[in-house]
Amino acid sequence: MEKRKLAVGDLFNLQSVTDPQLSPDGKEAVFVKTHIDEEENKYIANLFHVDVASNEVTQWTHGEGRVSSAKWSADGKQIAFLSNREEANQVFILSARGGEAKKLTSFEKGVSSFLWSPCGNEIWVNAVVKESKTFTDKEEKDDKKKSEPYRVTKMKYQLDGVGLLPQDTFRQIGVVDIATGDVTQFTGGNHQHTLHAVSHDGKKLVIGVNREENQDYEFRQPLYIVDVETKVETVLIDEDGYYGGAKFSFDDRFIAFVGSDRKLQNATHSDLYIFDTEDSTRMNLTESLDAPLGDNVVADHQQGAGAPSVVWTRDNYLYFQVSTMGDVRLYFATLEGELYPATPDNEHVYGYAISADGEFALVTVSDAGNPGELYKHVIATGERETLTSFNKTYLEEVELVEPEAIVYKGAKEWDVHGWLMKPAGYEEGQKYPLIVEIHGGPHAMFANTFFHEMQLLAAQGYGVLYVNPRGSHGYSQEFVDAVRGDYGGGDYEDIMTGLDAVIAENDWIDTGRLGVTGGSYGGFMTNWIVGHSNRFKAAVTQRSISNWISFFGVSDIGYYFSDWQIGADMTDVDKLWEHSPLKYAKNVETPLLILHSEKDFRCPIEQAEQLYITLKSMGKETEFVRFPDADHNLSRTGTPNLRVARLDEITGWFAKYL
């Protein structure tokens, strides 16, 4: 059967398989499958069950909302999960032997996270409480509530995806009795608490809380071990940086957690730490590994993909993700500091669960030609068994392009890694246009994973080049830090040198039909490129930065991110302006399409407005498309019809000019 070309509307055909959770005995598991309902214009995620021995897969929930964060009780008899079937996320409990799910919580603002108590009779929850209120206080509802002024007294007052932050609410931790539904609040005070772990004996919690009154320049959340009975706190870590994902070993002696200090601000690699509760010592288990822990991939298919920071086995071995050389691999470590990869290269392990005996893992895996499925992976031999095939029919019907990995010398003669895709239906001897894609972050990475947008461009007859310039994760600490203070310098050179390298090696590339696009940092770089080069015949900038001076005051992160990344604040506007693409607007000769979400608080839409009006006033070829009710994550998690419209705008612009 002849395969068809991939289309924009394939967003509605693809299935996302995420979040595998093994039962305590390792004989069964649950996971979440998400699809997009085109008619309803929304994402639908339901819980599925798999028998690990027979590979039989059964759908367990059938709601029209989204299920997430499934977790087994310690005895394996029940599964709790979050569901937004009644708007706010609430905890539901389902018997492992079947039946209807029981709603456990009814918090007005929903539950942000939860953990089982080992006894199986209680569930610990993290939820929002109004100042001077408790979980059990009922709020009076006012259907005629009027708009009120919003008084700003803090610098951290807005957040992308949220908007203006509530000023009188705080995340607290409580425990819910499953039999009665009664809630007992555990934490208090006007502080934001995070629930990280419950010990296997149920006597200890790991929580995060920063009790400093002024949080404007607080970029830390200390972790504490708390005695459940006495509430006495022991410091796990109280240092500048980002730490979390704590897990107790099976014997409760050790606590593993991940995090990064702030030596290089947000460019610092994350590491795995072990705390010994017997002697209160802490060690960095991955200090010798020059790559970051976790999943730093940018892509556009997987929905709600999350993975544990670290998982223990009963014999005190640990498993965790590492982003390395365009892959996300599962790694294995011993308490003595031995480190080994546990999964192969050339793939993206975006979710995993480990059997308690360490014999096998359940992994959700994607690569360039596979949107992602669930597999059983035998640790010792590397053998794999396919457990789901939700995208099998799709892959049999649709032609996908396999990217070619490339390595070339960038600025300072450093190796730069990337990929080149030929157009779908490529024929030897023909000439084709090429589009350069640039990722955001900048501390993120393109990877060996399925990317609908890349495949769409290839399906429409374009070659696609995407690289990981300096600043990208997955390589050395020196490499990821090298972009800071040098936006538009070595990173620009890395991208343009990569373009030169593929042109020199591929005579099918039509150098008269080159395009460039990117979002966030990739939008900044697109703006920078068209202000410094006329090589491209068309460009599309998305959710971009154009003016670092105004960005400082309007972005939810601007007042500190500008200093971290550019090395300047409002006391050095000359440097901010020097790195602002808007300064070079007069040089732009490339037709530029500007795409921006109206509710983007990360790179606010005024960045696009300034760029558009400036270019238009100079008589440049430009258009501006605004996406209502969309935030910074439009391309990944935005309302489906707007995601389709965005892709149509991109492909339409390139069709017009290339």
Show the CA angle centred on residue 243, arms to residues 241 and 244, nearest 5°.
Answer: 160
The angle at the Cα of 497, spanning 493 to 498, to the nearest 5 degrees, equals: 120
Three-state DSSP class for 44? strand
544 is catalytic: no
Token pair, residue 197, equals 């772990």
Establish whether 520 is a catalytic residue.
Answer: yes
Closest CA to 236 of 262, 207, 193: 207
Q: Could you give the dihedral angle defined by the CA atoms of residues 631, 634, 636 and 637, in that order, rounded to the nearest 10 degrees?
A: 60
Using alpha carbons, select from 266, 329, 317 the residue that is nearest to residue 293: 329
Which residues have a Cβ under 8 Å from the Cβ of 332 and sit 6 or more positions away? 317, 318, 319, 339, 340, 341, 342, 379
Q: Which of 269, 452, 596, 632 is catalytic?
A: 632
Q: Which of 249, 355, 366, 520 is catalytic?
A: 520
Question: What are the angstrom distances between the C-alpha of 236 and each of 209, 229, 273, 281, 529?
Answer: 12, 18, 10, 10, 46
Contact 415, 468 (CB under 8 A): no
Question: Is there a contact between 433 and 654 (Cβ–Cβ < 8 Å)?
Answer: yes
Cα-trace Rg, the chain: 25
Consecutive H or E run containing 169: strand 169-177
What are the C-alpha distances in Å from 168 to residues 130, 187, 213, 411?
Answer: 6, 16, 14, 49
Long-range CB pairs of 271-279 (<8 Å, 24+ gap) are: 272/310, 272/318, 272/320, 272/333, 273/237, 273/243, 274/335, 275/236, 275/237, 277/225, 277/252, 277/253, 278/253
Classify the C-alpha dihedral 559-294-195-77 as positive or negative.
Answer: positive
In whole angstroms, what is the distance from residue 19 CA to residue 17 CA? 7
As annotated, the active-site residues are 520, 632
